[in-house]
Chain A
């Protein structure tokens, strides 16, 4: 059963191929159904593989297979194969599962789009790349998947590329990710030069060859890669802009799956991270800082998707913080729970936007609870889950992270706690502004009242319901009192020797959990009190936060403008004069030389024969000279 795992990647690839060949002919909605069926098939295979893996004893849950040799150059042997262990299995389950739901949802959301089939082409290619990234047993193959999801993200962010903002958001996403990719590549080179292999199992077995400094360098370079892909400080700015893409894309790529790839990468190389406590501290601090900064920004955004995206950045910050603490299982647990509730929230937001005819401004919403009952009900679950109200999944996942962090550093724990208050606050603000209060969307535009919002079709509602159930109940994966044989014992073989062992007693754990719950309630209450009646509170939405701590402006001044000036210099002076001059000169020389040589090509056989004879004479002359002087 485990042996069929490669089908998880091949099915979306097949879907992609079918859609490339016949997508346009299938059209709306059949192209969408083809894509959805491919991914559902992938999910079914994942379930079968999971069953296969579970039937093995815990120590034997490790399946590795090479399918073919991809590159063989000198000492570099790259084989394409998969590594299926509890970590990649978990990732595959929620990646294929959430993808299947979002494919289904997209059939409704993208209805009527002129590029309907193209959307599913990209979406299927994305799922293929993501599964490849997760399953790869080799860092280079993983990098192929890594770039694959990156390029799909680029295509999907700028899906409506007739809009300038979408086109430039795509470019921004791509460029920020390239910075991270450079880190990944250099890490690959470093690992190969020290260990002599890119195969994960081999690397882990010989990780000692990296040395302490090497391990730190590799860990930090991979952190840079993760920061790019998972939108962490200092590379998080691209993710908000990426909201220019269609909402299902935001839900799938920029909330549930792709942006967690960085966290997955760090978890994957846990045995290398374990060699460098310094790097672990850096990871923890980056994660904590990102969680906090993004949460502050989320409190003052007006656009419903912008609030959610900063919330995503903040939540991934939590995951990275957990990784830096060594609490990998908590990180994965939060990742899974987050995929459920953030996917749900984005899809819910998409449903709202769909219902309001592409209105994204929170200040022009309100009073939607009555009109969009399904969306409202499911969004409610998502809101409570992310706010950390027990017994929703978010509470368990977040308190698992925070309990581990408390052991490593109370200061980081405190930062995490403040972030938790902010999380509860901004989510409540969003919820109240969108669904409660007056129906501000009804304000007349151009003199006439817009038509009532409409509830979405069933293909969009069904995924909402499924995700709502998961977001509510996801916590049972790893409840504190079943730590021994739940999610933790399933994952722990992967992190056998590197797992941070929390030493707190049951009493402290309960206290910390209660604090989390109280904090969440406080955040919710403050937001209710502040935002229930009025929507205009400029003091609570300072420009500093609205403009993302002036982070973009800083990059623009320090990197963007000098970079452009340099590019202009290179284009006009270096390229225009020096390079073009050299190329044109060389071309002229070739042309001239060739016309010279061409004169010998007379068309007369006698001349050709003379050429052969002269060549022969030259060869003989050379040989004679050798005989003479030897």
Chain B
């Protein structure tokens, strides 16, 4: 490492003395995915401006898929390259290509492809032609990749802005919905605010260390002991707040529910997966490696942040009736779990956080794909009562959603269980046992709202309107059967069945209690819409299928994915 540094110093010196603009050497493979995503976006934009009418949706989706899958393939090439030749920095040490960066690249490009599939059906339903959504999403994805590859605070900021600005526009994409515009404006204003905080943090850090390069910050801090480190700590705090806003940690989360609710559903899934991945990638890199020496200063802050994030996320999700708001709070709760990995500040913590992000991407995109489908025309039907009895009408869709929700709740034999398991283990290893306990309790609280939707889906919709379900005993057997390969042998008439009846009654009555003001209305809507089957577009079906398959297969056979995250961490630079 020190050799790199001295080389860098020499370069700098050379550049100053010779008065010639020095062009740094570039290893193109390192930035190829970013180039492909950005270049692809430009090409797609060019295509759509060259044709007279708006570009056909099919064409836009296909092009996006080709571009993102190309980037996906390139990411695996990078992975092989990093595996065999080790991590490296390029473009004058501004960009780093290591395990973490490549893992996030794989994640983001996969998320892009899945989101394009989900968006296809959405755009067709809403009657929106053209390639704008795809272009913006790809630009945003490129920003996320850049954040993960950044080895300089300025590059981090560049990535952050590329990511965010595209997301502001995406949020407002469906101009027919007033909530979209409102959400985008909120997001924009608050995002600008937090960006300002972040840039100020960069400035203060530069002031204290004399560099914005992450490697050099780390080496500066390990070689020098600052007597007055107030400026440095202030800079660090501002950076921390900037990141915390991006990953939606409490109390910097307040935009999340509004934006998640207001944004078009496919965009919400994309945002939840990609913005979190990019934000956390840079967060992990800056804090664990550059500010590693200051761990004793920032770990308590993350500790507190994680606790409030976990508690508020889980607690507020319980009282939501809008599925998108509920998932927004649930994503806040998930962010709290990832913070556990960061708080541990160990290799194991980083690896568990990366694994969490990777597995969560599939769960959340899959979940929002179902929400997109269920939103129907206008993307407005997001009250959880519209999920009542879904299992009877569309058993496959309900089963997929149930699996994804249970995975988010952390049920074994899904990746969701292992994600929570790993971060909690990392946290315990880092001697933060109380934090781990809070996390587990919040997971128990969170299980409630995932299960509530699941139970609603499996409740029969023709139950008496007083809300006490007659058919409740069939609910749990159906779930057990679903989990066990679809075979049910349970009679449901034994003593345990009675207990189940009481439990389910309690769950549903609770639901009804919170629905009290609108309960009449809810009943009538379920009555009239009971018969309609919601069409599931092919693209969304494929995306949901992939997400469920990944969640279940890697839940049963965890080793490959765990190993992926583990090796990505081993090659963590510096």
Listed stretches B125-133, B185-193, B389-397; interface member: B185-193
Docked Cα-Cα span, A167 to B493, in Å, equals 11
**What would 22 A/B residue contacts be, using CB atoms closer than 8 Å?**
A72-B559, A118-B487, A161-B491, A167-B491, A575-B499, A593-B315, A600-B254, A601-B316, A603-B258, A605-B185, A608-B186, A609-B190, A612-B194, A612-B252, A615-B244, A620-B234, A620-B237, A622-B300, A622-B301, A623-B233, A623-B301, A627-B229
Binary B-proximity of A136-178 (CB < 8 A = 1, otherwise 0): 0000000000000000001100100100000100100000000
Q: B319, A605: Cβ atoms under 8 Å?
A: no
Q: A71, B558: Cβ atoms under 8 Å?
A: yes
Chain A positions within 8 Å of B251 at CB level = 611-612, 614-615
Chain A: CB-nearest residue to B315: A594
List 18 extra interface pairs beyond A72-B563, A590-B315, A616-B237, CB under 8 A: A68-B559, A68-B560, A72-B559, A155-B487, A167-B491, A170-B489, A575-B499, A591-B319, A594-B318, A598-B319, A601-B254, A601-B257, A605-B189, A616-B197, A622-B300, A622-B301, A623-B237, A626-B297
Q: Which of A109-154 contact B (CB under 8 A)?
A: 118, 121, 154
Docked Cα-Cα span, A600 to B238, in Å, equals 23
Q: A607, B254: Cβ atoms under 8 Å?
A: yes
Q: A605, B186: Cβ atoms under 8 Å?
A: yes
Interface centre among B237, B491, B499, by most chain A C-beta atoms within 10 angstroms, is B237
Chain A positions within 8 Å of B241 at CB level = 612, 615-616, 619
A534 within 8 A of B: no
Chain A positions within 8 Å of B506 at CB level = 584
A63 within 8 A of B: no
Q: A155, B489: Cβ atoms under 8 Å?
A: yes
- If A590-B445, A605-B186, A622-B300 touch, does A612 touch B557 (CB 8 Å cutoff)? no
A69 within 8 A of B: yes
Chain B positions within 8 Å of A590 at CB level = 315, 318, 445
Chain A: CB-nearest residue to B298: A623
A597 within 8 A of B: yes
Q: B557, A619: Cβ atoms under 8 Å?
A: no
Chain A positions within 8 Å of B252 at CB level = 611-612, 615
A132 to chain B, nearest CB (A): 14
Q: B487, A121: Cβ atoms under 8 Å?
A: yes
- If A70-B557, A619-B301, A627-B233 touch, does A597 touch B315 (CB 8 Å cutoff)? yes
Chain A positions within 8 Å of B237 at CB level = 616, 619-620, 623
Chain B positions within 8 Å of A607 at CB level = 254
Q: A611, B300: Cβ atoms under 8 Å?
A: no
Give the size of the chain B interface in residues (CB under 8 angstroms). Answer: 49
The 8 Å CB contact of A612, one of B193, B257, B312, B563, is B193
By Cβ-Cβ distance, the 3 closest A-B pairs, closest first, are A608-B254, A615-B251, A69-B559
Q: A158, B510: Cβ atoms under 8 Å?
A: no
A51 within 8 A of B: no
Q: B316, A598: Cβ atoms under 8 Å?
A: yes
Q: Which of A502-536 contact B (CB under 8 A)?
A: none
A595 within 8 A of B: yes
B401 within 8 A of A: no
Binary B-proximity of A259-279 (CB < 8 A = 1, otherwise 0): 000000000000000000000
Q: A623, B499: Cβ atoms under 8 Å?
A: no
Chain B positions within 8 Å of A22 at CB level = none
Chain A positions within 8 Å of B557 at CB level = 68, 70
Chain A positions within 8 Å of B233 at CB level = 623, 626-627
Chain A interface (Cβ < 8 Å from any Cβ of B): 20, 68-72, 118, 121, 154-155, 158, 161, 167, 170, 571, 575, 584, 587, 590-591, 593-595, 597-598, 600-601, 603, 605, 607-609, 611-612, 614-616, 619-620, 622-624, 626-627
Q: B489, A161: Cβ atoms under 8 Å?
A: yes
Q: A594, B559: Cβ atoms under 8 Å?
A: no
Chain A positions within 8 Å of B319 at CB level = 591, 594-595, 598
Docked Cα-Cα span, A71 to B229, in Å, equals 45
Chain A positions within 8 Å of B297 at CB level = 623, 626
The 8 Å CB contact of A587, one of B255, B257, B510, B559, is B510
Interface of A is mostly: helix
A616 to chain B, nearest CB (A): 5
Chain B: CB-nearest residue to A568: B495
Q: A72, B499: Cβ atoms under 8 Å?
A: no
B168 to chain A, nearest CB (A): 13
Docked Cα-Cα span, A587 to B315, in Å, equals 10
Chain B positions within 8 Å of A587 at CB level = 448, 510
Binary A-proximity of B176-205 (CB < 8 A = 1, otherwise 0): 000000000110011001100100000000
Q: Which of B307-361 contact A (CB under 8 A)?
A: 312, 315-316, 318-319
B44 within 8 A of A: no
Chain B interface (Cβ < 8 Å from any Cβ of A): 185-186, 189-190, 193-194, 197, 229-230, 233-234, 236-238, 240-241, 244-245, 251-252, 254-255, 257-258, 297, 300-301, 312, 315-316, 318-319, 445, 448, 485-487, 489, 491, 495, 499, 506, 510, 557-560, 562-563
Chain A: CB-nearest residue to B445: A590
Q: A608, B190: Cβ atoms under 8 Å?
A: yes
Chain A positions within 8 Å of B445 at CB level = 590
A336 to chain B, nearest CB (A): 32
Docked Cα-Cα span, A575 to B193, in Å, equals 51
Chain B: CB-nearest residue to A118: B487
Docked Cα-Cα span, A605 to B254, in Å, equals 9
- If A597-B316, A601-B254 touch, does A71 touch B559 (CB 8 Å cutoff)? yes
Chain A positions within 8 Å of B230 at CB level = 623-624, 627
B483 to chain A, nearest CB (A): 13
Docked Cα-Cα span, A181 to B38, in Å, equals 58
Docked Cα-Cα span, A616 to B312, in Å, equals 18
Chain A positions within 8 Å of B245 at CB level = 612
Docked Cα-Cα span, A537 to B74, in Å, equals 84
Q: A609, B559: Cβ atoms under 8 Å?
A: no
Docked Cα-Cα span, A190 to B238, in Å, equals 52
Docked Cα-Cα span, A612 to B238, in Å, equals 11
Docked Cα-Cα span, A154 to B562, in Å, equals 34
Q: A591, B318: Cβ atoms under 8 Å?
A: yes
B301 to chain A, nearest CB (A): 6
Chain B: CB-nearest residue to A622: B301
B246 to chain A, nearest CB (A): 12
Q: B485, A20: Cβ atoms under 8 Å?
A: yes
A72 to chain B, nearest CB (A): 6
Q: B486, A20: Cβ atoms under 8 Å?
A: yes
Chain B: CB-nearest residue to A170: B489
Q: B240, A619: Cβ atoms under 8 Å?
A: yes
The 8 Å CB contact of A571, one of B240, B312, B491, B499, is B499
Interface centre among B185, B229, B233, by most chain A C-beta atoms within 10 angstroms, is B233
Docked Cα-Cα span, A540 to B300, in Å, equals 81
Chain B positions within 8 Å of A608 at CB level = 186, 190, 254-255
Chain B positions within 8 Å of A69 at CB level = 559, 563
Chain B positions within 8 Å of A603 at CB level = 258
Chain B: CB-nearest residue to A575: B499
Chain B positions within 8 Å of A68 at CB level = 557, 559-560
Docked Cα-Cα span, A587 to B236, in Å, equals 38
Chain B positions within 8 Å of A593 at CB level = 315
A599 to chain B, nearest CB (A): 11
Q: B312, A597: Cβ atoms under 8 Å?
A: yes
Docked Cα-Cα span, A170 to B489, in Å, equals 10
Chain B: CB-nearest residue to A571: B499
Docked Cα-Cα span, A614 to B312, in Å, equals 16
Chain A positions within 8 Å of B499 at CB level = 571, 575
Docked Cα-Cα span, A214 to B282, in Å, equals 51
Docked Cα-Cα span, A608 to B253, in Å, equals 8
Chain A positions within 8 Å of B229 at CB level = 627
Chain B positions within 8 Å of A597 at CB level = 312, 315-316
Q: B254, A611: Cβ atoms under 8 Å?
A: yes
Docked Cα-Cα span, A623 to B238, in Å, equals 11
Chain A: CB-nearest residue to B566: A72
B164 to chain A, nearest CB (A): 15
Chain A: CB-nearest residue to B253: A611
Docked Cα-Cα span, A609 to B197, in Å, equals 12
Docked Cα-Cα span, A614 to B252, in Å, equals 9
